[in-house]
Amino acid sequence: MFQVAHASDCGVSTHARQNSTPQAEACATRPHIASSKRAGVTAEQVAALPFCSRSPLFDENEKVTILFADRVTRGASGIRAPEFQEMRKFYDEGQIVELILAICTANFTNRFNDALENIPDLGV
């Protein structure tokens, strides 16, 4: 279960950082950084997300999961059998479905908050 929380937060953070203004980036990524820390992700790992596939800070499972989360976020209709085969090395079908649901829920929440210009309550 750790990987599901970890991947959805990381994938969304990567997307938010690459597709927003600096002001929106700060608002969009802060909640994900906070939830990533609760899931055990280090600040160094968050900083390494843009080049996670080459980073020694992530194991093979994490790299595959982060890439999959990014693909779901950017263009889920482009995901094909090879991507699912790669995921099946680490997850069963139920876990893959749960991961996709977590990614999509995070993306929906971001878009909803962005459209309404809501600033998430971080509870701090």
Q: What angle do CA 20, 36, 82 make, to 5 degrees?
A: 75
Instruction: Identify whether 104 is part of a domain.
Output: yes
Q: State pLDDT tens for residues 86-121.
A: 999 999 999 999 999 999 998 998 899 889 998 877
pLDDT confidence bin for 66, thresholds 50/70/90: very high
Instruction: Identify whether 100 is part of a domain.
Output: yes
Q: State pLDDT tens for residues 14-65.
A: 433 344 434 334 444 566 677 788 888 898 998 999 999 999 999 999 999 9
Q: What is the number of domains present in the chain?
A: 1
What residue has token string 């980036």?
25
Instruction: Identify whether 123 is part of a domain.
Output: no
> Structural domain of residue 37, as residue ranges?
2-115
| CATH number of domain containing 78 | 1.20.1290.10
Contact at 8 Å (CB) between 11 and 69? yes
Instruction: Identify whether 27 is part of a domain.
Output: yes
Top pLDDT among 35 and 13 is at 35
Query: Residue 97 has what pLDDT?
Result: 96
What count of residues does the chain have? 124
**81 φ/ψ angles, rounded to the nearest 5 degrees:** -55, -45
**Once rounded to an integer, what is the mean pLDDT over residues 61-82?**
91
Instruction: Identify whether 122 is part of a domain.
Output: no
pLDDT confidence bin for 77, thresholds 50/70/90: confident
**Once rounded to an integer, what is the mean pLDDT over residues 58-81?**
92
